[in-house]
Structure 1
Amino acid sequence: MVRKANPAMYFEIPVTDMKRAVAFYQQVFGFDFQFEEIHGNQMAFIPFELDGTGISGALAKGEIYQPSLSGTLIYLHAENIDNTLHQVQLAGAKVLFPKTRAGGYSYVAEIEDSERNRIGLMEPLP
């Protein structure tokens, strides 16, 4: 029997200033990072649990990485979107789409991060 998996496995968020981006994501989400250079690109990996659910990724700085408010939209888990949006504003970033219920599944919101990327937030309903 073939084991089925969700299609997304990993993401990279483009950054132009790694120090600023790391500070933003640490303040807003409490992420710890592991740093590495791969193929000439600076990578700040967000740790993940091998046995956990969902995917993880990295902040990525290099010639091919261009922050954008358009294009692919990744949603990051938020235990409490209201608290996360508060941290976003304390970090000097913008709320682009306020907390809104998304059907019977979750609450969502969208922010502009420190690098001018559109990032989604998702809080599952209890």
Structure 2
Amino acid sequence: MKSVKIAWFEIPVEDMSRAIKFYEKVFDCQLDFQDLGDFKVALFPVESGSEGASGSLVYHKEFYTPSANKGNLIYFQTEDCGEELSRVEEAGGKVMISKRQINPELGFMGVFIDSEGNRIGIRSKS
């Protein structure tokens, strides 16, 4: 069977500066802000040749609307999702599902609401 993989994701935001601060604090990383006129984006860091999809925060007043209960749910992969979840509330978000085991093969997961009102998942092997 042919494999279908995610290549890119975009997380809608209403306040780009607030969202950048939130994600940089939760994931302990630096986002790359780009002003594209009516579109504003902040790219998540990605290592050349690494596996998995990358993406960005994105602002456009007509085309993107944050949502906590509609649409797709993306999951970020980390070493230990409990670490990132522990920084969510201090960064201005809310943990909806604390770290819990899915099963021994798939590892652990959690879900939070970001500073913009989006529902975001996170998972890890440990």
**Is the 2:80–2:125 Cα contact (8 Å) retained in structure 1?**
no
- Residue of structure 2 equivalent to 1:67: 66
Return 5+ residue gaps in structure 1 as ranges.
Answer: none
Q: CA RMSD in A?
A: 1.6
Instruction: Return the match for 1:42 from 40, 43, 65.
Output: 40
Instruction: Return the match for 2:5 from 1, 4, 7.
Output: 7
Instruction: Return the match for 2:56 from 48, 51, 58.
Output: 58
- Residue of structure 2 equivalent to 1:28: 26
Mean alpha-carbon deviation: is it higher for 56-65 or for 97-106? 97-106
Aligned residues: 122
Question: Which TM-score applies when normalising by structure 2?
Answer: 0.88
Q: Percent of counterpart pairs with the same letter?
A: 36
Helix, strand or coil at the partner of 2:6: coil
Give the alignment of 1:93-104 within 5 angstroms.
93-103=93-103, 104=105
Q: 1:39 to 1:124 in 2, by over 3 A?
A: farther
Question: Which TM-score applies when normalising by structure 1?
Answer: 0.88
Helix, strand or coil at the partner of 1:68: coil
Helix, strand or coil at the partner of 2:48: coil
Q: CA deviation at 1:31?
A: 2.3
Q: Runs ≥4 in structure 1, deviation > 3 angstroms?
A: none
Return 5+ residue gaps in structure 2 as ranges.
Answer: none
